[in-house]
């Protein structure tokens, strides 16, 4: 493996570990907020106990997870220094806002949440709990805005003097991709936390401890989880439409689709042919169970719409809603224009060295014409511009299949928990809920794999491939730190799980009803 | 411009007393909160070890900001990135 591969693995490892903690923080803070709101409105001690129990688990997750994301920023400066410079203030500004907000808002209100009982009024404490939840979501907003910009770079102009992109429209950062990505990620956190709360509460029922507390928690978790899951699906649909518009190659990879058609079905279950090359005539799938019209509806909200496959995109062919074939820019042309952009940048550099301002102006103007394909100039073959189809295809299916299962679980749980006696004796459902806990994380992580592997080979879509974003560092350094992080994060994860389990076990023996 | 009556010494003293009281109660909240922690103590130890590992060991030894470390100013950094991004591959 090259230094690029190791750096990508390291970034993936760090991001995956970081995302183990984040969605639970996002979702559990809302569930705690709902429980405390009921306590403040009713004055019920039972709701106070439930609030404090889940707040403690929130605190454990928050404490173990805090600062794990900072490692990603370290990696930008060391492994991805070309990228860090190239993206300039566009990436830096949202991350700086995130740092300030995360620090001030969360650290202030988390302290009131945990230390403020009996010291501040009930309503002030409740406000602090909700502001902690809001602060966590606002932190996520800035990270996701920055990530969305990498998927759909807008609101900037490249300055060849500074060799970086300069923001010229801050509000353009809040693109459709950014908005959908933010809500999709946050609501998925609600769904994840809902499943977590239901699973843990079902363990109480299996153990026949604190039944009323468990039922109260299941109800709250199921409501928040179900609302989160429905909104996750709604925003996921919005994301699919945005990906179709701005990252059609990613959509084609998600579907393992090489030659599109109108209408285009979606593969519900299947296996892609690992030996398939975009330009040969072998089958796309080893087997596929297809839902007719599915992809046309998902991608364009039109059951008869044409959805281009990898081969169509490479050849620059699309079909519009009137059924006319239209030519987009083929990948061969993109590579040629990318190389022209590189030549213009070199010409600018030469002119700058000799102080020839007229030549600099001309080179800059030429660069501007082809800049949108700048990244393609690093490729020598169109094959290099295709994402890993297998990983993207399977991750997408893992996310959707598990997501559908959790929707069903949340609906069944919510309906049945109101039939108290039936739910208390439904051991099979309680065991399913308990066993589901790790799978909800797999579902959530799979979504990120789709988003990030599906956009390869780009760090910044169409502008900067990973191979150009990397620093001039040795592979051995990255290998060393990769294993160092693997150990640190595994220790943290073991600490989190063992402290959570110990705390749940200890609290379950108290009277929480 | 109309100017209101200036606050009396008594009013200023009351304000200051109120402010001191607020600071005192915030301090007490943190002090008592940390003192009475149970599981929180374990978590704080984990947080402190983690922050030391991340910011002292990881950051200083393994993850320098390469462009900040190796170049004097932004012009040099831009030149380096220009060379990196335009060199033939």
Residue A152 and residue A24 share a domain: yes
pLDDT by position in tens, chain A (length 513) = 889 999 999 999 999 999 999 999 999 999 999 999 999 999 999 999 999 999 999 988 888 887 788 888 889 889 999 999 998 777 777 777 777 776 677 778 888 888 888 888 999 999 999 999 998 898 888 889 989 999 999 999 999 999 999 988 889 889 999 999 999 999 999 999 999 999 999 999 999 989 999 999 999 999 999 999 999 999 999 999 999 999 999 999 999 999 999 899 999 999 999 999 998 989 999 999 999 999 999 999 999 999 999 999 999 988 877 777 777 889 999 999 999 999 999 999 999 989 899 999 999 999 999 999 999 999 999 999 999 999 999 999 999 999 999 999 999 999 999 999 999 999 999 999 999 999 999 999 999 999 999 999 999 999 999 999 999 888 998 999 899 889 988 988 888 888 888 888 888 888 777
How many whole angstroms from its chain centre is CA A165?
24
What CA–CA distance (Å, rounded) separates A418 from A199?
Answer: 17
Residue A72 and residue A14 share a domain: yes
In this complex, the residue of A71, A120, A346 whose CB is nearest that of residue B54 is A71
Give B65's contacts in chain A (Cβ within 8 Å).
77-78, 81
Chain B within 8 Å of A473 (Cβ-Cβ)?
Answer: yes
**A267 three-state secondary structure:** strand
Beta bridge partners of A272: A285
Residue A294 and residue A271 share a domain: yes
What pLDDT does residue A447 have?
96
Residue A399 and residue A283 share a domain: no
Residue A474 and residue A447 share a domain: yes
Quick: pLDDT tens for B46-70: 888 888 888 888 888 888 888 888 8
Residue A134 and residue A98 share a domain: yes
What CA–CA distance (Å, rounded) separates A466 from A475?
Answer: 15
Q: Where are the domains of chain B?
A: 9-63
Q: Do B81 and A86 touch (CB under 8 A)?
A: yes
Structural domain that includes position A463: 3-247+388-508
Residue A60 and residue A7 share a domain: yes
Q: Do B54 and A484 touch (CB under 8 A)?
A: no
* SS3 of chain B: CCCCCCCCHHHHHHHHHHHHHHHHHHHHHHHHHHHCCCHHHHHHHHHHHHHHHHHHHHHHHHCCCHHHHHCCCHHHHHHHHHHHHHCCC
Residue A460 and residue A317 share a domain: no
- ipTM given for this complex: 0.81
Is residue A481 in a domain? Answer: yes
What CA–CA distance (Å, rounded) separates A468 from A83?
Answer: 8
Q: Do A77 and B32 touch (CB under 8 A)?
A: no
Q: Indicate the helix (H) or strand (E) that contains A156.
A: strand A156-159
A–B CB contacts, 8 A cutoff, strictly below:
109
What pLDDT does residue B61 have?
84
Residue A261 and residue A234 share a domain: no
**Of A481, A494, A511, residue with least CA distance to A72:** A481
DSSP result, A321-335:
TTS-EEE---HHHHH
Residue A357 and residue A263 share a domain: no
Residue A392 and residue A378 share a domain: no
What CA–CA distance (Å, rounded) separates A180 from A186?
Answer: 10
In this complex, the residue of B29, B64, B68 whose CB is nearest that of residue A116 is B29
DSSP result, A222-248:
HHHHHHHHHHHHHHHHHHHHHHHHH-H
In this complex, the residue of A63, A71, A342 whose CB is nearest that of residue B43 is A63
Query: Number of folded domains in chain A?
Result: 3
Dihedral angle computed from the Cα positions of residues A116, A117, A120 and A122, in that order, rounded to the nearest 10 degrees: 130
Q: Indicate the helix (H) or strand (E) that contains A294.
A: helix A294-300
Mutate which of A68, A70, A81, A467 to disrupt the B interface (most B C-beta within 10 Å)?
A: A81
What pLDDT does residue B18 have?
74
For residue B44, the chain A residue with the least C-alpha distance is A63
Q: Do A112 and B29 touch (CB under 8 A)?
A: yes
CA–CA min distance A330, chain B (Å): 22
Instruction: Classify the phi-psi angles of A257: left when phi > 0, otherwise alpha if psi is within -120 to 50, otherwise beta.
Output: beta
CA–CA min distance B7, chain A (Å): 29
Is residue A495 in a domain? Answer: yes
Give A67's contacts in chain B (Cβ within 8 Å).
47, 50-51, 54
Whether the CB-CB separation of A375 and A82 falls below 8 Å is answered with no
**Residue B31: cis peptide before it, omega within 30 degrees of 0:** no
What CA–CA distance (Å, rounded) separates A75 from A478?
Answer: 10
Chain B within 8 Å of A285 (Cβ-Cβ)?
Answer: no
For residue B52, the chain A residue with the least C-alpha distance is A67
Query: Which of 296-335 (A) contact B at CB < 8 A?
Result: none
Q: Do B29 and A499 touch (CB under 8 A)?
A: no
What pLDDT does residue B4 have?
59
Give A63's contacts in chain B (Cβ within 8 Å).
43-44, 46-47
What pLDDT does residue A376 have?
96
CA–CA min distance B68, chain A (Å): 9
Is residue A347 in a domain? Answer: yes
Residue A203 backbone dihedrals phi, psi, to 5 degrees: -60, -40
CB count, 10 Å around CB of A286?
A: 12
Model confidence at B31: pLDDT above 70: yes
How many whole angstroms from its chain centre is CA A173?
17
Mutate which of A4, A17, A55, A63 to disrupt the B interface (most B C-beta within 10 Å)?
A: A63
What pLDDT does residue A323 have?
73
Whether the CB-CB separation of A306 and A255 falls below 8 Å is answered with no
Give A114's contacts in chain B (Cβ within 8 Å).
33, 40
Give B79's contacts in chain A (Cβ within 8 Å).
163
Q: Residues of chain B whose C-beta is under 8 A from some C-beta in A?
A: 25, 28-30, 32-34, 39-40, 42-44, 46-47, 50-51, 53-55, 58-59, 62-68, 74, 77-79, 81-82, 84-86, 89
Residue A217 and residue A262 share a domain: no
């Amino acid at each position: 493996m090259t230094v690029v591969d190791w750096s990508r693995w390291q970034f993936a490892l760090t991001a995956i570990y970081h995302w183990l903690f984040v969605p639970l923080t996002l979702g559990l803070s809302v569930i705690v907020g709902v429980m405390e709101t009921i306590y403040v409105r009713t004055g019920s001690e039972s709701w106070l106990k439930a609030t404090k129990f889940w707040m403690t688990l929130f605190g454990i997750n928050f404490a173990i997870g805090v600062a794990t994301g900072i490692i990603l920023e370290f990696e930008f400066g060391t492994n991805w220094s070309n990228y860090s410079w190239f993206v300039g203030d566009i990436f830096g500004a949202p991350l700086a806002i995130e740092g300030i907000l995360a620090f001030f808002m969360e650290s202030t209100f988390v302290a009131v949440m945990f230390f403020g009982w009996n010291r501040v009024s009930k309503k002030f404490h409740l406000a602090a709990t909700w502001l902690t939840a809001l602060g966590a979501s606002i932190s996520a907003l800035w990270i996701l805005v920055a990530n969305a910009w990498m998927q759909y770079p807008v609101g900037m102009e490249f300055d060849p003097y500074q060799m970086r992109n300069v923001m010229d429209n801050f509000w353009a950062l809040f693109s459709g991709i950014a908005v959908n990505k933010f809500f999709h990620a946050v609501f998925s956190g609600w769904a994840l936390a809902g499943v977590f709360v239901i699973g843990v509460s079902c363990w109480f029922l299996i153990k026949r401890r604190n039944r009323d507390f468990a039922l109260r928690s299941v109800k709250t978790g199921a409501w928040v989880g179900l609302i989160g899951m429905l909104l996750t699906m709604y925003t996921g649909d919005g994301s699919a439409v945005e990906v179709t518009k701005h990252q059609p190659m990613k959509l084609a990879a998600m579907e393992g689709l090489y030659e599109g058609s109108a209408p285009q079905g979606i593969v519900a279950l299947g296996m892609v042919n690992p030996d398939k090359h975009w330009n040969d005539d072998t089958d796309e799938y080893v087997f596929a169970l297809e839902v007719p019209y599915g992809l046309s509806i998902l991608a364009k909200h039109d059951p008869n719409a044409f959805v281009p496959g990898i081969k169509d995109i490479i050849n620059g062919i699309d079909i519009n809603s009137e059924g006319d074939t239209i030519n987009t820019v083929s990948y061969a042309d993109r590579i040629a224009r990318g190389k022209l952009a590189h030549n213009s940048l070199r010409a600018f550099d030469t002119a700058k060295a000799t102080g020839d301002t007229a030549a600099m102006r001309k080179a800059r103007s030429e660069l501007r014409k082809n800049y949108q394909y700048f990244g393609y100039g690093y490729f020598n073959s169109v094959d290099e511009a295709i994402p890993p189809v297998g990983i993207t295809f399977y991750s997408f299916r893992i996310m959707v299949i598990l997501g559908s299962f959790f929707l069903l679980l949340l609906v069944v749980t919510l309906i049945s928990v109101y039939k108290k006696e039936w739910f208390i004796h439904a051991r099979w459902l309680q065991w399913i809920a308990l066993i589901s806990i790790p799978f909800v994380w797999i579902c959530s992580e799979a979504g990120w794999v789709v988003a990030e592997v599906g956009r390869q080979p780009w760090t910044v879509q169409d502008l900067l491939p990973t191979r150009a974003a990397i620093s001039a560092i040795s592979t051995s350094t990255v290998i060393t730190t990769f294993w160092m992080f693997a150990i640190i994060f595994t220790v943290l994860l073991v600490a989190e799980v063992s402290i959570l389990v110990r705390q749940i076990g200890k609290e379950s023996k108290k009277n929480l009803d | 411009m109309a100017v209101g009556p200036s606050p009396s010494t008594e009013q200023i003293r009351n304000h200051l007393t109120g402010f001191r009281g607020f600071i005192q109660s915030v301090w007490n909240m943190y002090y008592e909160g940390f003192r009475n922690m149970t599981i929180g103590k374990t978590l704080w130890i984990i947080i402190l070890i983690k922050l030391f590992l991340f910011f002292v060991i990881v950051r200083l030894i393994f993850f320098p900001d390469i462009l900040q470390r190796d170049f004097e100013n932004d012009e040099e950094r831009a030149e380096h990135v220009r060379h990196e991004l335009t060199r033939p591959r």
